[in-house]
Amino acid sequence: MTARKHATPRPLSKVATGIQGFDEISHGGLPQNRTSLAMGGPGTGKTVFALQALVNAARDRKQPGLFVAFEEGASEIFANAATFGWGLPALARSALFFLDARLSPTVVQSGDFDLGGMLAILEAKKQELGAGWIVFDGVDVLLRLLQNPGAEMREIYRLRDWLADNDLTAIITAKIDGDASSPASYGFMQFMVDCVIRFDRRLEQEISVRRLEITKYRGSEFATGEFPLSFGPQGMEVAAPGTAEILHEAPSARVSSGFAGLDSMLGGGVFRGSSTLITGAPGTSKTTLAGKFAESACQRGERTLFVSFDESGARIQRNLTSVGIRLDAHMKSGLLRMYSGRTDVNNPEEHLIRIAALLLEHRPRCMVIDPLSAIARTGALSSARAVCNRLIYKMRDHRVTAIITALVGGDDPQVEATELQISTIADTWIHLSYVVRGGERNRALTIVKSRGTRHSNQVRELVLSAAGPALADVYSAGGEVLMGTLRWEKEAEERTRKLQRRAAFTHKRRELQFAEADIVARITALQLDLDRQRAELALYTPEDEVRHVTSDERENQLRKIRGAGAATKVAPVPSRRRVARISARSRGNGGKEPRRGP
Amino acid sequence: MARKRAKADAATAPVTTVVVMCLYVAGKAPNSVRAIANLEAICRRHLKGGYKLEIVDVCEHPRRALADGVLVTPSLTKVSPAPAANVIGNLSDTSSVLAALGLHAGDLN
């Protein structure tokens, strides 16, 4: 939501602070060569804001700066900023100048004084360094010494004129006590400066929440409203709402969910850049599924981020080892980054900012948040919901394929829908539940929804073993999926049946083989018989011929001797008689008719 | 430009020690001009025994002021005798200046 404040013919030139989120809500940063006022109660982050802007300018844009500390000494500031990876002492040697402007408590005041001397010193330093930035930290401490509203105003105008003459981008921080909405004391200072940022800290459901708001920005539009801020490893981060329009790509490439059974249920895996929600009661192995996803991502060589809450990364890694998921090597190689947050310490906003920082730092392609529902444990539920929404959008912005787990109390997945309301934004929703049947508690996996992809409607049993999670084969009986022992029994029954079938088959086959062998044997015996017959036949034929010839010749000779006609007797007699005669004469030989005439 | 005014006369006042002071001013700023006048009046009245005053214009010698830890102007530093003392302001409140310098009004009258 933006509001146009003043229309200027010439756009105001801005200079980025490099503070994540602030440059977005201020639409570019602070006004260049003008003065900004950061005001707020104690411990709201004014000094860090100012110092971080200064450090970023010096480090990233090589723009030296001056820091005038009215409240803390340089060494204290260095110590405070040491928690952030800024390298402040090194910068202080080259590009930054810290002026310890605390007045000694032993100083006696006698009459009016002014800032002329200090400004002269700063001017000399500015020219020496070529500084473009200046911070007056805790200017209220100095002004209080003036003990005179008129003098205060005079010195502030002196400051303003000096800043205007010196072309410095300035941040003045000032404390305000009590209610932040009525900063009566610095009213004129707010008129004087071009940009006012109000810092605030308050308790929300026993959790301290810091916020900032831009209340004034001359000649510029800015995002109105309060924005939560927190402190990450790189300093302050402001939770900017991001762009109003959602412009996410929709890649059609698939990513394995970690094991084949689930991939095939999802029609080949989850979409690249999508977010998958896994809900379930405690102990339904949500973390195991998430861990499997992380492991397979690492095996593909993709950078992975594993965010867990209230349990250390080392413990998760150890626990996952028991189900055959090995993350240790990937953790060592730096491919996998484990981050564990404590939900009792930070509020949802701080978690979000931390995760967002990790996304930038580690640049993962896949990530796991286990469990996201832990975020809602502290602070107001409405802000937790907003955080979850923003988190999912942020992951999509970074094109990260994510698995998010969420704890639900009951077996009914609809409970989740009313709790954090992330199920509506998630692309795929897998629900894990316990099925109690036959005196057992078994894990069941259901895909509640999966956008833009064909997915199985089958309830499957999730089996955990040392080899990792797997989806058991489906056996249904009477419309129910069999699980646990019932499934095992069914499987055993199936096995027995299969064995029986196989035995019967073998038996039958063997029977047929015997029959075949028998026939073959008989064929062989007959063949042998046939051969013998043929051989005998071959043996007998020439002998018979000889016999025939001799007998015919002899008959003819006998006839000749007797003087009878040769063929007269023979002609009317059919061969049968001859055959009979032949067979009578020579046993075993027949059928051959005499062809030779006399 | 540092102006040095040494009015020490050890022979006339052997009992009192010489007070060494440094006044930091910012050019011709009203408070600075007033401070010089006020201090000179105090010295005339109360430091007859002898004093050494150095007036440093911060606008011209910012490095010196930085080294001496001077931030606001005008600012008076008593260098010796110990203990050292600092007074800020246009020195219009004479009694507080004298107290800071370790003198009491009337002591040396």
In a domain, A244, yes or no: no
> Is residue A450 located within the same domain as residue A495?
no
Joined tokens for residue A541: 């034929």
Kindly give, in sequence order, each residue whose CB lies less than 8 Å from that of residue A289, ignoring residues fewer than 6 positions away.
A257, A258, A262, A278, A403, A405, A430, A432, A462, A469
**Partners of B85 in the β-ladder:** B78
Tell me, yes or no, whether A433 and A521 share the same domain.
no
- The partner residue sitting opposite A107, judged by closest CB among B32, B58, B86, is B86
Phi, psi (degrees; rounded to nearest 5) at A171: -125, 125
Parallel, antiparallel, or unpaired: how do β-strands A207-217 and A222-223 relate? unpaired
Evaluate the CA torsion angle B53, B59, B62, B66 in order and state its sign: positive
Backbone dihedral angles phi then psi of residue B16, each to the nearest 5 degrees: -85, 145
Cβ atoms of A261 and A470 within 8 Å: the answer is: yes
Name the domain boundary from A238, A267, A299: A238
Same-domain check for residues A295 and A218 = no
Do residues A10 and A146 both lie within one domain? yes
Q: Do A53 and A162 share a domain, yes or no?
A: yes
Contact A33, A44 (CB under 8 A): no
Strands (E), A397-552: 401-407, 428-437, 440-450, 460-465, 468-471, 476-477, 480-481
Q: Is B98 on the interface with A (CB under 8 A)?
A: no
Helix, strand or coil, per DSSP, at residue A155: helix
Say whether A113 and B62 touch across the interface (CB within 8 A).
no
Q: Which residues of B touch A116 (CB under 8 A)?
A: 26-27, 29, 31-32, 58-59, 73
B residues 23-52 closer than 8 Å to A (CB): 24-27, 29, 31-32, 34-35, 38
- Beta strands A222-223 and A2-3 are antiparallel
Query: Is B65 close to A99, i.e. CB distance below 8 A?
Result: no
Mean pLDDT, contiguous 10-residue spans, chain A (598 residues): 46 81 85 87 86 88 88 83 82 84 79 83 87 87 78 82 86 73 60 86 75 86 81 77 62 83 84 87 85 90 89 86 88 89 76 82 89 76 77 83 81 58 80 80 84 79 82 73 78 88 94 95 95 88 67 81 62 49 49 48
Contact (CB<8Å) B63/A112? no
Rounded CA gap, A450 and A254, in Å?
13
Beta carbons of B89 and A113 less than 8 Å apart? yes
Nearest residue of A to residue B31, measured between CA atoms? A113
Chain B interface, mutation test: which of A108, A122, A141, most B Cβ atoms within 10 Å? Answer: A108
Answer for the pair A388, A375: CB distance below 8 angstroms, yes or no. Answer: yes
Interface test with B, best of A68, A100, A114, A165 (most B CBs within 10 A): A114
Average pLDDT over every residue of B3-24:
60
* Set of chain A residues whose Cβ sits within 8 Å of the Cβ of B27: 116
Residue A274 half-sphere exposure toward CB, CA atoms < 13 A: 26
The answer to whether the Cβ–Cβ distance between B24 and A117 falls below 8 Å is yes
Q: Do B66 and A106 touch (CB under 8 A)?
A: no
According to the model, what pLDDT value does residue A521 have?
Answer: 95
- Looking at the structure, do residues A121 and A9 belong to the same domain, yes or no? yes
Q: Please determine, for residue B5, whether its predicted confidence score (pLDDT) is greater than 60.
A: no
Give the long-range contacts of residues A583-589, CB within 8 A, separation 24 or more: A585/A551, A586/A544, A586/A547, A588/A540, A589/A540, A589/A543, A589/A544, A589/A547
| CATH number for the domain harbouring residue A13 | 3.40.50.300
Contact B90 A112 (CB under 8 A): yes
Beta strands A428-437 and A440-450, pairing class: antiparallel
Reported pTM: 0.60
A116, B29 Cβ separation under 8 angstroms: yes
Q: Do B31 and A113 touch (CB under 8 A)?
A: yes
Which of A113, A118, A120 is opposite residue B90, by nearest beta carbon?
A113
Query: Cβ distance A408 to A448 under 8 Å?
Result: no
**CATH number among 2.102.10.10, 3.40.50.11810, 3.40.30.10, 3.10.180.10, domain B3-100:** 3.40.30.10
Q: What is the pLDDT of residue A205?
A: 67
Structure tokens at A591: 């059928």
Q: State whether A113 and B88 contact (CB < 8 Å).
A: yes
Which residues of A touch chain B, with CB atoms under 8 Å apart?
99-101, 103-104, 106-118, 120-121, 123-125, 142
Q: Which two tokens stand for residue A158?
A: 């002196």
In terms of domains, do A222 and A275 share one?
no
Q: What is the pLDDT of residue B109?
A: 42
Q: d(Cα A79, Cα A84) in Å, to the nearest integer?
A: 10
Place of tokens 């992330």: A422
Chain segment A63-82, per-residue pLDDT in tens: 888 898 888 888 888 888 88
Query: How many H helices and E strands in chain A?
Result: 17, 27
A103 in a structural domain: yes
Check: CB of residue A47 under 8 Å from CB of residue A137. Answer: yes
Please give the pLDDT value at position B108.
45
Closest residue of A to B93, CA-based? A110
With beta carbons under 8 A apart, name residues in chain B contacting A103. 71-72, 88
Length of chain B: 109
The ipTM estimated for the assembled molecules is: 0.78
Q: What's the distance, Cα to Cα, between the start and end of chain A in Å? A: 139
A386 and A451, same domain (yes or no): yes
- Residue B69: exposed, middle, or buried by beta-carbon count in 10 A (0-12, 13-18, 19+)? middle
Put simply, the answer to whether B89 touches A121 (Cβ < 8 Å) is: no
Place of tokens 């923003």: A390
- CA distance to partner chain B, nearest, from residue A84 (Å): 29
Q: Examine the domain organization and report whether A452 and A496 are in the same domain.
A: no
| Residues A546, A408 share a domain | no
Say whether both A467 and A492 belong to one domain. no
Burial class (CB in 10 A: 0-12, 13-18, 19+), A236: buried
User: What percent of chain A stands above pLDDT 90?
Assistant: 8
End-to-end CA distance of chain B: 33
The one-character DSSP state at A26 is T
pLDDT tens figures, A215-239: 888 888 888 888 888 777 778 878 7
* Residues B30-69: tens digit of each pLDDT: 888 888 888 888 888 877 767 888 888 888 888 888 888 8
Mutation site for A-interface testing, chosen from B71, B76, B101 by largest number of A Cβ within 10 Å: B71
Residue of B nearest to A128 (CA): B63
Q: For residues A170 and A167, give the distance between their C-alpha atoms in angstroms, rounded to a whole number.
A: 9
Same domain for A468 and A521, yes or no, is no
Which of A179, A206, A238 represents a domain boundary (last residue)? A238
**Which chain A residue is nearest to residue B33, measuring alpha carbons?**
A113
Which chain A residue shows the shortest CA-CA distance from B23? A117
Size of interface A-B (CB pairs under 8 A): 106
B68 CA to chain A: closest CA distance, Å?
A: 11
Model pLDDT, residue A4: 47
Does the CB of B77 have a partner CB in chain A at under 8 Å? no
Domain boundaries, chain B: 3-100
**Strand, helix or coil for residue A115:** coil
* Residues A242, A249: Cα–Cα separation, whole Å: 16
**Bond from prior residue into A574 cis (ω within 30 degrees of 0):** no
Residue range(s) defining the domain that contains residue A531: 488-598
Q: In whole angstroms, what is the distance from residue B77 CA to residue B104 CA?
A: 17
Total domain count, chain A: 3
Of A450, A474, A498, the position where a domain reaches its end is A474
Burial class (CB in 10 A: 0-12, 13-18, 19+), B31: buried
Helix runs in A448-483, H state only? none
**For residues B52 and B49, what is the distance between their CA atoms, to the nearest angstrom?**
11
Measure the CA–CA gap between A553 and A422, rounded to whole angstroms. 123
How far apart are the C-alpha atoms of A296 and A299, rounded to whole Å?
5
